[in-house]
Amino acid sequence: MSVTDACAALLEGRRLWAPTPGVARIATLPELLHGARLVRSPVEADAVLAWGRKPSAERAEALARRHGLPLLRLEDGFLRSLALGPDAPPWSVVLDDEGIYYDASRPSRLERLIAAGVDAAQAARAEALRQAWCEARVSKYNLARDRDPASLVRPGDVLVVDQTAGDAAITHGGADASSFARMLEAALDEHPGARVLLKVHPDVLSGRKRGHFSPERLTPGAAARVVWLADPVHPPDLLQQVAAVYVVTSQMGFEALLWRRPLRCFGLPFYAGWGLSTDELPLPRRAPAGLEALVHAALVDYPRQVHPHGGARCTPEALVQAVGWLRQQRQQDPERVTAVGFSWWKRPILRRFMPGSQVQFQSARQPLAGGEHLVLWGRATPPAGGTPASVRRVEDGFLRSVGLGAEMRQPLSWVVDAQGLYYDATAPSQLERWLQSGELPAALRARAAALRQRILAARLTKYNLAGRAWQRPAGDRPVLLVVGQVEADESLRWGAPGLCRNADLLRAARAERPDAWLVYKPHPDVVAGLRRAGDGEAQAQASADEVVVDVPIDLLIEQVDEVHVLTSLAGFEALLRQRRVVCWGAPFYAGWGLTEDRVALPRRQRRLDLDSLVAAALILYPRYVDPASGLPCPPERAIDALLAWRERPPEGRARRAARRWLLGWARRLRGR
């Protein structure tokens, strides 16, 4: 059996006991150890888990000896997570039955994997993965925002990497505190005249631990050339440009090799001794190996990883892509924003949808100081006072929840628009700009087509409400669906310059299609008593042949010939199902050649196919949050979450009625 095959079989069928409570509590551990089963006592186990070479591992070692069981050592993988600390369980771990990668005093499974080398296919995969790592700009921890590398690094600068005092990787890597002093001295001597960038460990910046350097302990000569990087800096911002990297045993040395930077090592980390770095200490048992062998062993064969979205086992390529995407999502908004007028229940939700920003909430009555990056719900008016630096407007997305927003159901999607808002036809929004002039390549349109087919197969809509069945009336008359809205809705105020009442829409549809069987569906919020009915809406039967209140919208759309709307999202959902749609207002999906428009939209000139509309409206524009992890997620994962949500036991009828009564009473009290 090859070393690689042995790695794959390491856990299959094993029963593992983790005597250290902290190890057993790692949320992602069961899936990371897929193939094995965690048990509660040594009697049931055939192996013991220990965390690296921490002090707690000594107890695990002693228990393994006492019970005659083999020991497996766990450690964080080299692409761990976004954040650090106990509140961010790892997405990658390594498992070693021979030693552990940072203990140079004895061989480890990783060392044997590197020494085994790679074939041509493995070498190609390793090089592609190395390039993907750099393109995604990932690191072990990935919480820091990107900064302009030119603002950090000048030509010729070298990087010196500190570590936390007492790190087991230092002592087990043949180094000590004096190694750091020698490292800094060498960097200064070997690059005379160059600046030396001294990178502090994230744990030191967070206040969790101590480092080996401080500004007051530098000599005057060194202090003149050393640039103290005391603020959080994402490693790729440095590794992209520095002339050389100096480490003791830090993982940043491995990442420097991934970025193909010259590397000096003052300890014996797992990547030293292979001829890829200039090493201060010898390790005779390691012979020269290629970078591809190192990368394949460290990122493909040695670790086990789970996907941030859903937590299932995944390839290292998938994890690199996912973490890179999550980093991008965290940097869409300014680092600090001021949110005004958000109700108590929306505040934690906003933080989830703006995960890379520090959100400060402010009363709408409090004047602005000026210069804030402002966040408002919908078309709310900014407070008086100074001029904000920017304004972002937030609204529900188009695949929102199972249940009504008016019932305070947690949303899976919101939109955050820094240019306008999709339902405000008086000015362009970010969605309109994508539709009018954005790049919508073939791969994106193909993804949108697959997404649309999945939505149809799963029968998903904005609110995904249950209801009774409905049958199209017999006969040859065309069947026309008219969709009602909450008349106080902002989308009518800003997107319906002509007709803006449900009763008028019904009369217009009847006048245009006197031969049709006209079905009217009032808005679910109105049916639930959470919002007021429109003027004259109670007499809908006068214009409609049938009024349906408890039939799911998708079931109606699939059986009618055409759908008439003011600005309702039901028009978009009808387009997804390839029905004829007549727009009497100016919703975001009108004006692109896909609908019959009764309102002129001269600003919208581009003719689009349906997949382009779906790509912009469901992939590019909204933000989605996975309810299981609280992380941003792509729409495909949001659909998984919606389906799981829909399968949960429904809320009891009495509880639902009580919730609706309370919310309706509160809104009536506010005069809404």
In this structure, what token pair is assigned to residue 428? Answer: 């362009």
Alpha-carbon distance of 457 to 279, in angstroms, equals: 59
Residue type, 346: K
Residue 667: pLDDT over 60? no
Portion of the chain with pLDDT greater than 90, in percent: 75
Residue type, 269: P
Handedness of CA 314, 300, 24, 49 (dihedral sign): positive
Instruction: Please name which of 536, 513, 655, 533 lies closest in space to residue 584, comparing C-alpha atoms.
Output: 513
Strand, coil or helix: 571: helix
Contact yes or no for 578/572 (Cβ under 8 A): no
> pLDDT tens for residues 436-461?
999 999 999 999 999 999 999 988 88
Distance in angstroms between the alpha carbons of the first and the last residue of the chain: 72
Instruction: Please name which of 94, 231, 75, 79 lies closest in space to residue 152, comparing C-alpha atoms.
Output: 231
Task: Identify the pLDDT of residue 405.
Answer: 47
Contact yes or no for 650/605 (Cβ under 8 A): no
Task: Identify the pLDDT of residue 661.
Answer: 43
Instruction: Please name which of 620, 480, 665, 668 lies closest in space to residue 561, comparing C-alpha atoms.
Output: 480
**For the residues of 363-383, what is the DSSP string, one character each?**
-TTSPB-SS-EEEEETTPPPP
As a whole number, mean pLDDT of residues 197-208 equals 77
Task: Identify the pLDDT of residue 410.
Answer: 83
- Per DSSP bridges, beta strands 622-625 and 303-305 are unpaired
Residue 406: pLDDT over 70? no
> pLDDT tens for residues 254-263?
999 999 999 9
Sheet of strand 47-51, all strands in order from the earlier edge strand to the far edge: 37-39, 15-17, 47-51, 71-76, 92-96, 303-305
Handedness of CA 584, 585, 587, 592 (dihedral sign): positive
Least confident of 348-357, 550-559, 655-664: 655-664
- Could you tell me the domains of the chain? 114-325 (3.40.50), 442-621 (3.40.50)
Task: Identify the pLDDT of residue 660.
Answer: 43
Q: pLDDT band at 523, cuts 50/70/90?
A: confident
**The pTM is what?**
0.89
Q: What angle do CA 642, 645, 649 make, to 5 degrees?
A: 155
> pLDDT tens for residues 1-33?
455 455 567 788 899 999 988 888 899 999 999
Task: Identify the pLDDT of residue 468.
Answer: 87
Task: Identify the pLDDT of residue 461.
Answer: 83
Task: Identify the pLDDT of residue 665.
Answer: 46
Residue 237: pLDDT over 70? yes
Q: pLDDT band at 485, cuts 50/70/90?
A: very high
Place of tokens 């809104």: 667
Contact yes or no for 461/558 (Cβ under 8 A): no
Q: What angle do CA 609, 613, 615 make, to 5 degrees?
A: 115
Task: Identify the pLDDT of residue 402.
Answer: 65
